[in-house]
Chains A and B, each alone.
Chain A
Amino acid sequence: MIVRILGGEGQLRVDDTHAELLNGLDSGLERAVEAGDEAGFRSALADLLAQVRTLGEPLADEELVESDALLPSDDATLEEVRAMLTDTAEGLIPG
């Protein structure tokens, strides 16, 4: 599975054998976002990012592949992530 960490960090390849572990962390993150629980969101995001970085291998720069999943960057706020999930506006690429 290819995971992209947003904010310019890039993509990592994580072996599917870790799917169960990541799934659990992912559910926790989702619950925190839906509940609007800022502290829970912070720690769940930090945990998930740490696991992905530990288990994953960064992709070579010239590899041109689509990701299977995306994660916000460490400094993303709950507000930003919620906006991302609901925002239907265009113009992701500025200019």
Chain B
Amino acid sequence: MSFMKRLKMIFSAKANKALDRAEDPRETLDYSYERQLEMLQKVRRGVADVATSRKRLELQQAQLQQQSDKLETQSRQALGAGREDLAREALTRRSGVQQQQQDLAAQHAALQAEEEKLVLASQRLQAKVDAFRTRKETIKATYTAAEAQTKIGEAFSGISEEMGDVGLAIQRAEDKTQSMQARAGAIDELLASGALDDASGTAKDDITAELERMSSQSDVELELARLKGELGAGKAPDAIEAGGTSDATGAPVAEAAPAEPARTEGDRP
């Protein structure tokens, strides 16, 4: 078992060094306990940090999802308006967004795994610190030098190994969190610069602008057609009859109908 044991020896040497042992082992018990409590605080902070990063990723995932949905709606609208080029552009952007989404999903899973590990590690460290406190009090109460040396030695080794490992786990989580925060920052920048478009809808992207332009254009065309219809109706006398006999439901026709006879009557004499 040479490899596993070698690793253990190197690790223990370092972990034990971290818990500076003094001449009288009893003196170091309280000091060590303080260090353990500090370590517990660190793990809990580590858990909170990872959770914060995870939540930020979740927020970005939601924004990207919104973005993806919006682009899909736009592509439908564009296609409905006969603009295949615009629909293609929207779908191309959507696939870019989806790529980012997949990326974030993988990061999210990794971060969540890291968080779960840290939560378990902090729970375990808490239990071990409690056990150490109990043992510390027992040792202090029944202290005889020779006996205490061994007992304290065991307790120290056990706790320092645990703290060493938890320390490593925190460091790993911090490294991962940092690299993810850098990436999350880059996505925030992309979202802010409009390259991925602003999912909050405060800024208009060019596809929206084009769709709106098309829509307002077709509104104008409709309005024009309506006006033309009205004018056309005024010129043709048979339209009055049609309006009256068919009992038209459209308000413009109903309004136009009484107006026309008044004018035609005035013109006739």
On A, residues with C-beta under 8 Å from B are: 1, 3-4, 6-10, 19, 22-23, 26-27, 29-30, 33, 60-72, 81, 84-85, 87, 90-95
Contact B167 A94 (CB under 8 A): yes
Return chain A residues, CB-CB under 8 Å to B127.
Answer: 60-62
Interchain CA distance A95-B167 in the complex, whole Å: 9
Q: Is the interface of B mostly helix, strand, loop or mixed?
A: helix
Return chain B residues, CB-CB under 8 Å to A22.
Answer: 1, 4
Contact of B158 among A19, A33, A66, A70 (CB under 8 A): A66
Contact of B4 among A61, A70, A93 (CB under 8 A): A70
A93 with B1, Cβ < 8 A, contacts A4-B161, A64-B128 known: no
Contact A62 B171 (CB under 8 A): no
A69 with B8, Cβ < 8 A, contacts A7-B165, A29-B3, A92-B15 known: yes
Interchain CA distance A67-B1 in the complex, whole Å: 13
Select the residue from A29, A70, A87, A90 with max chain B CB neighbours within 10 A. Answer: A70
Contact of B8 among A27, A65, A67, A87 (CB under 8 A): A67
Between-chain CB contacts (< 8 Å), 8 pairs: A9-B120, A10-B124, A33-B3, A63-B131, A64-B128, A70-B8, A92-B168, A93-B18
A9 with B3, Cβ < 8 A, contacts A63-B131, A92-B15 known: no
Contact B7 A69 (CB under 8 A): yes
Contact B17 A72 (CB under 8 A): no
**Of all chain B residues, which has the CB nearest A22?**
B1
Contact B12 A66 (CB under 8 A): yes
B235 within 8 Å of A by Cβ? no
Contact A7 B117 (CB under 8 A): yes
Interchain CA distance A37-B22 in the complex, whole Å: 43
Contact of A94 among B4, B6, B159, B171 (CB under 8 A): B171
